[in-house]
Amino acid sequence: MAKRPNPRAIRAARTYTIDEAALALEVSVGTVRAWVKAGLPIMSKARPFLILGDALRGFLDARRTSGRVELLPDQLYCLRCKAGRRPEGLLVDVLPQTPKTARLFGFCEVCGGNCNRMISLSQIDRIRPIFVFDFNGTKQA
Ligand SMILES: [Zn+2]
């Protein structure tokens, strides 16, 4: 079984490059890149990407917890509240992740923070009546 990275290895007040974060957490650089793709916030779009320690901790904590949180059909997982929350206005963005999965992304109606949820595309018809979809962020080919 893979060892879980320990968020306590990260100092909240400092920033990390992807390499430094991987080193501190004893995971591969590819793993940290995958976290960024999965929603770990980075501080700027320019290289080198910097990750705030506090954000990294929050992200890892959320991942530990999210497996145990049962989401209601109209909820996403809020990284800040660390709980299932409805997105503000039930507005969600759909970001395709793989050919079979997508990430719903919205803003928590309680704290305004980022909340998201992975869905399989086979579920999308079931959640379509619940949410207001905002495809603005998705470029059409
Ligand atoms: Zn929240």
CATH T-level fold of 1-68: Arc Repressor Mutant, subunit A (1.10.10)
Cα-Cα end-to-end distance for the chain: 40
Question: Domain residue spans in the chain?
Answer: 1-68, 70-141
Q: Answer whether residue 123 shows pLDDT above 90.
A: no
pLDDT tens digits, one per residue of 81-100: 988 999 999 999 988 888 88
What average pLDDT does range 116-134 have in this prediction? 86
Query: What are the tens digits of pLDDT across the range 42-69?
Result: 887 778 889 999 999 988 887 776 566 6
Q: Ligand 1 centroid vs 51 CA: distance in angstroms?
A: 20
Between 10-19, 45-54, 103-112, 131-140, the lowest mean confidence (pLDDT) is in: 131-140
On whether the CB atoms of residues 49 and 36 are closer than 8 A, the answer is: yes
- In angstroms, what is the span from residue 91 Cα to ligand 1's centroid? 15
Q: How far apart are CA 73 and CA 130, in angstroms?
A: 8
Q: Which among 85, 88, 93, 2 is positioned nearest to 39, based on CA atoms?
A: 93
4-34 pLDDT, tens digit each: 788 889 999 999 999 999 999 999 999 999 9
Could you tell me the two tokens for 140? 């059409």
With a cut of 80, say whether residue 115 has pLDDT above it: yes
Highest mean pLDDT among 94-98, 113-117, 122-126: 113-117
1 Cα: distance to centroid of ligand 1 (angstroms):
31
Predicted confidence at residue 140, as pLDDT, reads 41
Q: How far is the CA of 88 from the centre of ligand 1 (A)?
A: 10
State the distance from the centre of ligand 1 to the C-alpha of 141, rounded, in angstroms. Answer: 33
Q: What is the Å distance from ligand 1's center to 77 Cα?
A: 8
Question: What distance in angstroms lies between residue 140's CA and the mean position of ligand 1's atoms?
Answer: 30
